[in-house]
Chains A and B, each alone.
Chain A
Amino acid sequence: MIFKGKTVVGPATFKGGIHPEDMKAATCKKPIVDLPASKEMVYPLQQSLGVPAVPCVEIGDRVLMGQKIAEAGGFVSAHIHSAVSGTVTAIEPRMTVSGIKMNSIIIENDELDEFCDSIKPLDWRKLSPKEIVDAVREAGVVGLGGATFPTHIKLSPPEGKKIEYVIINGAECEPYLTSDHRAMLETPEEIIEGMKIMLKVFGLKVAYIGIEINKPDAIKKIAEFAEKEKDVEIKVVKLKTKYPQGSEKHLIKAVTGKEVPSGKLPVDAGAVVDNIDTCAAIGRVFMYGAPLLKRIVTVSGDCIQNPSNFRVRIGTNVQDVIEKCGGFVKPAAKIIIGGPMMGVAISDVDIPIIKGSAGILGFSADMVAKKKVQNCLRCGKCVEGCPMNLLPNVLKDAAMRDDLETLNKLGAMDCIQCGSCTYVCPAEQTPLQYIRTGKAKLIKARQEAKK
Chain B
Amino acid sequence: MAGLNINEMLIVTEAPHTRGKNTTSGIMLDVIIALIPALIAGIIVFGFRSLVLTAVCMVSAVAFEWTWCKILKKPSTVGDFSAALTGLLLALNLPVTMPYWMAICGSLFAIVVVKQFFGGIGHNFMNPALAARAFLLTSWAQAMTTWAVPFSNTSIFSGADAVTSATPLAQLAQTVDATSSATAVAESAAKLPSYMDLFLGNIGGCIGEVSAVAILIGAAYLLARRVISIRIPGAYILTVAVLTFIFGGRDGFFTGDALYHVLSGGLLLGAFFMATDYVTTPYTKKGQIIFGVGCGVLTSVIRLYGGYPEGVSYSILLMNVVSPLIERYTVPKKYGAVKPEKGGAN
Contacts and interface: CB of A to CB of B under 8 A. Distances in A.
Given A331-B7, A345-B10, A377 B279 contact: yes
A268 B75 CA distance: 51
15 contacts: A259-B335, A319-B4, A329-B5, A334-B11, A340-B17, A342-B16, A377-B27, A377-B278, A378-B278, A426-B20, A426-B22, A426-B27, A427-B24, A428-B23, A433-B14
Q: Is the interface of A mostly helix, strand, loop or mixed?
A: loop
Contact of B332 (A262, A341, A389, A417): A389
B4 A414 contact: no
Interface string B305-346: 000000000000000000000000001111111100000000
Given A343-B15, A375-B120, A422-B16, A332 B23 contact: no
A379 B4 CA distance: 42
Contact of B22 (A260, A342, A344, A381): A381
A389 B22 contact: no
A11 to B, nearest CB: 19
B18 interface: yes
B12 interface: yes
Given A332-B6, A361-B17, 15 more contacts: A15-B335, A328-B4, A328-B6, A343-B17, A348-B10, A365-B7, A368-B17, A377-B279, A389-B335, A419-B16, A423-B19, A423-B20, A426-B22, A432-B16, A436-B14
B334 A262 contact: yes
Interface of A: 14-15, 18, 20, 99, 175, 249-250, 253, 259-264, 303, 319, 322-323, 327-336, 338, 340-350, 361, 363, 365, 367-368, 371-372, 374-381, 383-384, 387-391, 393, 410-411, 414, 417, 419, 422-428, 430, 432-433, 436
Contacts of B3: 319, 323, 327
A380 B7 contact: no
Contacts of B336: 249, 259-264, 388, 414
A365 B11 CA distance: 9
A387 B334 CA distance: 9
Given A375-B123, A414-B335, A427-B122, A333 B20 contact: no
Main secondary structure, interface of B, reads loop
Interface in B1-45: 1-7, 10-20, 22-24, 26-27
B70 to A, nearest CB: 18
Contacts of B145: none
A91 B191 CA distance: 95
Contacts, number: 187
A80 to B, nearest CB: 26
Contact of B122 (A250, A263, A377, A432): A377
Nearest to B17: A340
B20 A18 contact: yes
Contacts of A253: 335
B15 A342 contact: yes
Contacts of A322: 4
A334 B5 contact: no
Contact of B11 (A249, A261, A333, A372): A333
Contacts of A249: 335-336
Interface in B201-252: none
B197 interface: no
B284 A383 contact: yes
Contacts of A422: 16, 19
B18 A423 contact: yes
Nearest to B226: A381
Contacts of B23: 426, 428
Nearest to B5: A328
Contact of A20 (B4, B18, B24, B278): B18
A393 B283 contact: yes
B92 to A, nearest CB: 21
Given A264-B336, A414-B334, A349 B6 contact: yes
Interface in B67-114: 75, 77, 80
Given A260-B336, A374-B121, A383-B284, A347 B12 contact: yes
A408 to B, nearest CB: 11
